[in-house]
Structure 1
């Protein structure tokens, strides 16, 4: 890895080379979208300020011992490949510099609530005056035209309001929140990037300025499609099913041999219970499962003859299967079932992923942090020509302020020093 370029590996696949993004986004969903644009070759300039530090620089995980805002694991993961400038937008001079940067940018991205950018005179109507073919991406929590346009929130709130929690969990329990901020890492940034790529194509066809709004609430609610369709068609809400399926059976996670509470994971809080997820979709897969578990006679049991019959006797069936699966480790059981044509996989935790040599080599990148720490960053699941994309580390806070001000805005070193002393670049 180069000490200057921080490139993990070389690649010539840079379809957005020459595209510049002025990035006002913060937290996770917005920065992940602009990170993907950087992965595709765009120059992404992240606007930061000590007056309003991106919370993801402080939320963790952090290295052991003393740490700084440049060493936060989450920030370094979601902001790979970007540049960072310090710009205090509460100063009129800072707002003017931002407009000058927008004038030399193809895309402006933001995810503020309400009219914050408009109050700084950096809204769409202001910036198209300096860049007539600007693509402006706005990712508010709620649509700017709706009744909740001034509401804020993070992924946990959005999951709840969008109905995700209502279908998660078990039937006798309250609604169950997802572990990760799922839409922040999936639908929201990818919907935003898809819209931006379409806008770039549209611009090349002669379109002028384009304003694109991706409401994170609406993006998240799109995940609930089948549930919305069911309620529209029948007026009934689906029950919370835990790990079960309304169509397939057996469909659950089953206990396997416990992992040893010794070795490198001892005392680290790593769980020793192990599980295997099994999803039988056809009677052929059901028959194969019976053979692998050593009970071919289950195929002829009228309680289990069809998927509908199996669902009616699901409690009994799950107990029978669970009594057999503990004979194997989760990995061995999954391998046996996959070889027999039955969809199955071990229930992994983060340590399992990082211990997988192929997965670690192909998807995770070990980077030297900007101040000496090392961390693993997830790569993009997009593999041009079957090869993983290169990764560049995230920036130090304000690392590229002088470079951007001098090379893009034409400021002299004395002008930059004056703006730093005045707090505009800070």
Structure 2
């Protein structure tokens, strides 16, 4: 069955993560994505390893595999007139272009939005940069780690300075890049609908820094309301108690009592029903106010059982909880398996499925990330 974007053509001029993630999402949705890469080198992430997956006599980096499923790869040197002409022909028939060059970086090649719009007025052209097309930082390069720092995420991630191991921490994956890729996809789909109604294409400007600040969500809103910058507080939640990690007899787990009823059920299951009726802890605002007294009590209780014992007990009474899994346990998890999260592309290459489940136009994952230039000849034939 065809995907929801069947018939849509995407020209992917991006590399590394944010742009390729957006283009891969479009490929997952059924679009025909042609990725243009540098001859002899390709996307930077082709060399970001180990580990590498062995595909016949060739290797492909696990990092490149992350964001390039479902695409076709062509090589073209955009510094040459021949390369520029080839890319312009691709753009002329494309619905969407995704690029993440520095601001103005494609203008000298005649591959910027204004130049390609003259060839294809209905083109949807998405530019992804560190800081956006405007503003005093527009010319700067932006990498995920820098954006996590500048955008405030690292100021609220990690343990407080006054505890062992305290200090700012980055998130374990490049969340600024990934969120930017997803926001870019959302913008592209909005522009695609607008074009279907009006016939007009447009330029989409998405910045990592803008995205990072936007995804601070409740933390940003709380600051704007209170005027007080939030502090790092490890795995605990600023507005819910108890909602954090706790040590158990054999490891660590998450306890997430999101309302008063769940906290009451936890206390009953833990054999301490009086704790829930204590005025200091009977409501969430009171539990937040008395966090310093309550958390050590809960911590001492949690050490009395193993993680699996707690999960069995708490799930039985409807209290949200979960183990802190390493990735071997994640992919062995029965729910993860039941949802088909792990894929084998072309029956051999491992991948992780797009999480979108659609009843009418289900997503299909058939094409593995391409080897460099594997589709150049076929695409050139299509262009005549």
Match 2:189 to one of 194, 197, 206: 197
* Alpha-carbon distance, 1:307 to partner: 2.9
Distance 1:66 1:319 in 2: 52
Of 322, 328, 342, the residue aligned with 1:364 is: 342
Instruction: Return the offset for 1:61.
Output: 4.4
Give the SS at the match of 1:116: coil
Residue 268 of structure 1 is matched in structure 2 by: none
2: distance between equivalents of 1:303 and 1:234?
Answer: 24
User: Once the 2 structures are TM-superposed, how far is the Cα of residue 281 of structure 1 from its aligned partner?
Assistant: 2.5
RMSD: 2.3
Contact 1:57 1:70 in 2 (8 A): no
Map of 2:128 onto structure 1: 139
Find the aligned partners of 2:373 and 2:59 in 1 and give their Cα distance. Answer: 10
Instruction: Give the match for residue 178 of structure 1.
Output: 171
SS at match of 1:71: strand
Distance 1:191 1:164 in 2: 17
1:25 corresponds to: 14
Is the Cα contact below 8 Å between 2:3 and 2:364 reproduced in 1?
A: no
Of 326, 341, 365, which residue of structure 1 is paired with 2:318? Answer: 341
Map of 1:40 onto structure 2? 29
Give 4+ residue runs of structure 1 displaced > 4 Å after superposition.
64-70
Residue correspondences, number: 378
Question: After superposition, what is the alpha-carbon deviation per residue over 1:295-330, rounded to whole angstroms, capped at 9, x for unaligned?
Answer: 223234444333344334434432332233234332
Q: Deviations over 1:238-277 (max 9, x none)?
A: 222222222221122111243xxxxxxxxxxxxxxx3111
Please give the alpha-carbon distance, in whole angstroms, between the structure 2 residues aligned to 1:357 and 1:208: 47
Q: Distance in 1 between matches of 2:252 and 2:156?
A: 22
Other-structure match for 1:415: none
Of residues 59, 77, 97 in structure 2, which corresponds to 1:88?
77
Is contact 2:69-2:370 (8 Å) kept?
Answer: yes
SS in 2 for 1:150: coil
Change (3 A) 1:352 1:294: same
Unaligned runs of 5+ in 1: 1-11, 259-273, 411-426
1:126-161 deviation digits (Å, cap 9, x = unpaired): 111211211111111111111111111221111111
Partner of 1:377: 351
Q: Confirm or deny: 8 A CA contact 1:363 1:388 kept in the other structure.
A: no
What is the rounded CA distance, in whole Å, between the counterparts of 2:104 and 2:18 in structure 1?
19
What is aligned with 1:288? 265
Are 1:217 and 2:209 counterparts? Answer: yes
| Structure 2 counterpart SS, 1:45 | strand
- Measured after TM superposition, the shift of residue 69 of structure 1 is 7.5
Aligned match of 1:405 = 380
Rounded to whole Å, the distance in 2 between the matches of 1:300 and 1:203 is 58
In the alignment, the residues of structure 2 paired with residue 209 and residue 23 of structure 1 have an alpha-carbon distance, to the nearest angstrom, of 17
User: 2-side partners of 1:137 and 1:84: how far apart?
Assistant: 19
Tell me, yes or no, if the aligned pair for 1:353 and 1:360 is still in contact at 8 Å: no
Once residues 65 and 32 of structure 1 are traced to their aligned partners in structure 2, the CA distance between those partners, rounded to angstroms, is 22
Distance in 2, Cα, partners of 1:317 & 1:386: 49
TM-score by length of 1: 0.83
Greater shift in the superposed pair: 96-105 or 245-254: 245-254
Q: What's the offset of the Cα at 1:68?
A: 8.5
Which residue in 2 is equivalent to 1:168?
Answer: 157
State whether structure 2 residue 298 is matched by structure 1 residue 321.
yes
Correspondence list, 1:108-119, <5 A:
108-119=97-108
Report the CA distance shift for 1:231/1:37 in structure 2 as closer, same or farther (over 3 A): same
**Counterpart in the other structure of 1:151:** 140
Alpha-carbon offset, residue 87 of structure 1: 0.6
User: Which stretch shifts more, 76-85 or 46-55?
Assistant: 46-55
Distance in structure 2 (CA, Å) of the matches to 1:387 and 1:102:
27
For residues 222 and 291 of structure 2, the distance between their equivalents in structure 1, rounded to whole angstroms, comes to: 23
Q: Indicate how the Cα distance of structure 1 residues 332 and 69 shifts in structure 2: closer, same or farther if over 3 A, else same.
A: farther
Instruction: Check conservation: 1:51, 1:88, Cα contact below 8 A.
Output: no
Please list, as runs of the form range in 1=range in 2, the aligned pairs for 1:273-312 lying within 5 A after superposition. Answer: 274-312=251-289
Question: Does structure 2 conserve the Cα–Cα contact (< 8 Å) formed by 1:166 and 1:175?
Answer: yes
